[in-house]
Amino acid sequence: MTKTVLRVLGGEAVWPPPVWLMRQAGRYLPEYRAMRAQAGDFLKLCLTPELAAEITLQPLRRFGMDAAILFSDLPIVSLGLGQNLRYAEGEGPVLPPIRTEADLDALSLDKVAATVAPVWETVRRIAADIGDATLIGFSGAPFTVACYMVEGHGSRDFASARLMAYREPALFARLIDLIVAGNLIYLRGQADAGAEVLMLFDSWAGMLPPNEFRRWVIEPTARIVAALHATHPHIPIIGFPRLAGAMLGDYALNARVQGVAIDTSMKPESAADMVRPHIALQGNLDPLALVAGGEPMHTSARRILDALRGRPHIFNLGHGVVPQTPPENVGALVEQIRAA
């Protein structure tokens, strides 16, 4: 029997739909917090295969989701390109910002494989242990990785990155090209190590106007998808162009992904209208409905199930699980989907 997540990404409507949750591993789980405290440093956790593999599988042991996503982080590819990456306590990624031609000259593809090799080993270990669930590998999509690389940290608007794209498009394009090439090495290695699906997180895609969205989100994603499919023709790819809004259909069609993750703001029926019927939709429960639990969670989940019944759908959140989520609500949600 082919795994349900792979059937759905092959264009089949499966009922009840398979379910997994973005950020299903992490701080809401006491067993994660224990390992995190032991390791001390988040990046060390990402780059220690034994620990990262165990953390990846923690939510599956508890709740039995249909898929596990590799435990790692979005800007690991920038570390591979030679940009120093660290995590300040309680914050996201912090990097020395790329602002000039010379900053970019200091990066290269030479050490990508050596730097990300521990992640590939993590994938190998998960694959050996995952049983019937599907293993999803991932990286940050070029535009969102570029946002962090140029800005140097998380931001409400990533103004430096977006301004570079307007003022110095050749420089920004060179950075995007480098991330595309780095991601190809990184993601091919994940596929070779046993990842069955690959996902590209474009968390900040929705900040761009339509023309820029085509140039910096769709076009680089399409290049990655085409190149991956040239070497790994059967691996399905899920894109997550968060807050893409009306650009969602254009993205799905032209990036040539097999699945599109939809964010919390997207009406499932609208996504279904915009995206061709053989492309899977993944999403899109509000992570705060999961925090609330009970009737509000079940009603919201039911609406999504009903709206997407009859088309390929992977049940998920519209963004990641937040740390204050009661673990028992995750259990109740998975049960609801199974019993749908």
Verify binding: residue 25, ligand CP3, rule CB under 6 A: yes
Q: Which residue stretch of 20-28, 97-105, 227-235, 276-284 sits at the interface with ligand CP3 (rule: CB under 6 A)?
A: 20-28
Site string for ligand CP3, 95-134 (x = CB under 6 A): ----------------------------------------
Instruction: Check 148, 186, 242, 286 and give the catalytic one.
Output: 148
Phi, psi dihedral angles at 197 (to 5 degrees): -140, 150
Verify binding: residue 24, ligand CP3, rule CB under 6 A: yes
The least distance separating ligand CP3 from the CB of residue 202, rounded to whole angstroms, comes to 9
Q: Which residue stretch of 10-18, 22-30, 98-106, 226-234 sits at the interface with ligand CP3 (rule: CB under 6 A)?
A: 22-30
From the number of C-beta atoms within 10 Å of its C-beta (0-12, 13-18, 19+), residue 172 rates as buried
- CA 253 to the chain's CA centroid: 19
CB atoms closer than 10 angstroms to residue 271:
26
Verify binding: residue 92, ligand CP3, rule CB under 6 A: yes
From the number of C-beta atoms within 10 Å of its C-beta (0-12, 13-18, 19+), residue 281 rates as buried
Site string for ligand CP3, 223-262 (x = CB under 6 A): ----------------------------------------
Looking at beta carbons only, is 178 or 321 nearer to ligand CP3?
321
Looking at beta carbons only, is 11 or 327 nearer to ligand CP3?
327
> Restricting to residues 192-221, which ones interact with ligand CP3 according to CB under 6 A?
201, 203
- Contact (CB, 8 A) for 56 and 33: no
The least distance separating ligand CP3 from the CB of residue 306, rounded to whole angstroms, comes to 26
> Restricting to residues 139-158, which ones interact with ligand CP3 according to CB under 6 A?
154
Number of helices followed by number of strands (H, E) in the chain: 17, 9
Closest by CA position to 314, among listed 284, 282, 275, 290: 282
- Residue 240 CA to residue 191 CA, distance in Å, equals 19
Q: Catalytic annotation on 36?
A: yes
Q: Catalytic annotation on 73?
A: yes
Report how far apart, in Å, the C-alpha atoms of 299 and of each of 136, 268, 286 are.
28, 14, 12
Phi, psi dihedral angles at 112 (to 5 degrees): -55, -55
Total residues in contact with ligand CP3, by rule CB under 6 A: 19
Identify the residue among 10, 82, 245, 320 touching ligand CP3 (CB under 6 A): 320
Closest by CA position to 24, among listed 259, 243, 330: 330
Q: Give the position of tokens 């609330």.
A: 292
Closest by CA position to 212, among listed 265, 257, 164: 164
The least distance separating ligand CP3 from the CB of residue 74, rounded to whole angstroms, comes to 4
Give the H/E segment covering residue 254: helix 248-255
Specify whether the backbone of 74 is left (phi greater than 0), alpha (psi in -120 to 50) or beta: alpha
Looking at beta carbons only, is 89 or 105 nearer to ligand CP3?
89
Verify binding: residue 93, ligand CP3, rule CB under 6 A: yes
The residues that are catalytic are: 23, 27, 36, 73, 148
Site for ligand CP3, rule CB under 6 A: 23-27, 36, 42, 69, 71-74, 92-93, 138, 154, 201, 203, 320
